[in-house]
Amino acid sequence: MQDSKISVMIADDEENIRAGLKCIMDWDDLGYSVDYEAENGEQALDIIEKSKPEVVVMDLNMPRIQGIDVIKKAREKGYPGRFIILSGYSDFKYAQSAIKYGVTNYLTKPVDEDELQKTLEDIGRDLSLEKEEEGKLQNIRKKARDSVIQDLLRSNELDLSIEELGKMKLMYDKYQVVVYETYHTDRQRPEYKLPELLSAFIDARDYESCIMNERAVILLKGKAAVSRFRKFLEYYDKRPIQEDSPLDAIFLTYGRCVDKACDIKISCDEAMKLSDRRFFGDMGVHKMGYEELQVLSSQNKSVITKDILRDYTQKIIGFMQAGSIDRTLETLNEMKACLCASNENSTAIRIYMTDMILEIKNQISRIYQESGDIFAENSEIIDFLETRFYLYEIFEYIQDIAFKVVQMVRGRQGARSTMEDAAAYVDHNYFKNLTLEVVAPLFGYNNVYFGKVFSKEIGVSFNTYLNKKRIEEAKKLLTSSDIKIYDIAERVGYSDVDYFGRKFRSMEGISPADYRKKAKGK
């Protein structure tokens, strides 16, 4: 059976008549499909109630339940389909009584093929027009409903009664708004949508989806949906977000849960404000809740002007030319904190950072002709910055440039505290996958010689220095936050939480969990 065909039931107590009706017409060519047969009125009524064929071709004289009673009972139960009744000439007056049940198609036996074909063609046209009109009405209703949902998200002054909300299936005891963006730089990886991830927790009927301000918005409806969304968050909180995790390609924010439809805007505004902060998020942050708005609102906002940004640029260029990687990185971190605390949007910051990198390239290239290999083409720089999802990615890019520029400058000045620069690099990049093989080439050494010189000048081996730095940063996170220990391990550069635990215990004489308890006086 094809969806486009009109479903038909033939009901007659004589099998040869049923077979004949199926044979005399090219049902498929007329757009019909004979899907059901009934040999008595009781069976016909049961099929009508359960399967709802669109057209019923039925003899009036049926065993068990008469055809006219089948029609009457079907109409009483709301069956909207079309009936074509068959009867002998002696039943004509009896057949006329079917008119009050909306039956307008009456054929006498033996059935004339041309007459039946014309009747089917007329019904087919009528049903086609009805479906077309119903499709238009459904489209109008959907657009009207979508418009109401958009209005609820944007305004708290929408004047809708409880009855009106109920008719549109928007009357619930709880509401919560979720905003999400999908992204990933690896185009070969599958791109997940939040509804796909929610499907394991929340029935699709319990939320609405729409696009607002070029962002995907989900409106959770009802206490059950809100509760299941909380379970969804808890589920992913308990699992480290690996590179192949679905949430690694999604950033979501959510507003508070509200009790009234007129307060949906409050939840939406909170989710949107948090979504605006996505660009300023730290590495590995994939969700933000309304609770964090209070923290953000309590922070002092910094004012950013062109003069301030120009001053930062010149300081950074100056420190690079002086060969001071420490001061360069300090200034970059200071500037990043200033930008994060400002009200500037991500577009404005990308524009400034692009101008800054191009200015660094211009000034350094003018002084050092050998710096050509350090910088990409202008178009590549612009494209790179425009496609970054986070501010920290842009600053990592600038840090890499800074290390290369300072290395070049010091190369001109001769060997001078290169290992101190290497230690500074570790201090600022300890969370990355750092090894001697990775770091040594950055400073122009092979890894064996670099390791010997580093140990001699810094006083400890490269691995010891790296682990000390990571453990120190882990201790800060353990005492200043409630971040899960496996998340802390990942943030400070350990992909294996068990290895992190062993390393922490070997250096501190205590496990990370016990260290946290002791530090917090528990």
Got the DSSP string for 93-142?
A: HHHHGGGGGT--EEEESSPPHHHHHHHHHHHHHHHHHHHHHHHHHHHHHH
Would strands 175-182 and 250-254 be described as parallel, antiparallel, or unpaired?
A: antiparallel
* Per-residue model confidence as pLDDT tens digits over 223-239: 999 999 998 888 877 76
Of residues 253, 251, 262, 256, the one with CA closest to residue 226:
256
Dihedral, 422, 428, 431, 435 alpha carbons, nearest 10: -10
Radius of gyration of the chain (CA): 36
- What is the pTM for the complete model shown? 0.57
Q: Retrieve residue 273's tokens.
A: 């404000």
Asked if residue 110 has a cis previous peptide bond (ω within 30° of 0), the answer is yes
219 beta partners: 177, 208
Distance CA 381, CA 53 (A): 64
Distance CA 465, CA 95 (A): 98
* Per-residue model confidence as pLDDT tens digits over 147-203: 888 888 888 777 777 888 878 888 899 999 999 887 654 545 556 667 777 777 888
Which residues in the chain show pLDDT less than 70? 1-3, 89-96, 98, 141, 183-193, 239-248, 297-300, 413-417, 522
Element (H, E) at 194: helix 194-198
**Residues present in the chain in total:** 522
Q: What is the DSSP string of 13-27?
A: S-HHHHHHHHHHS-H
258 beta partners: 175
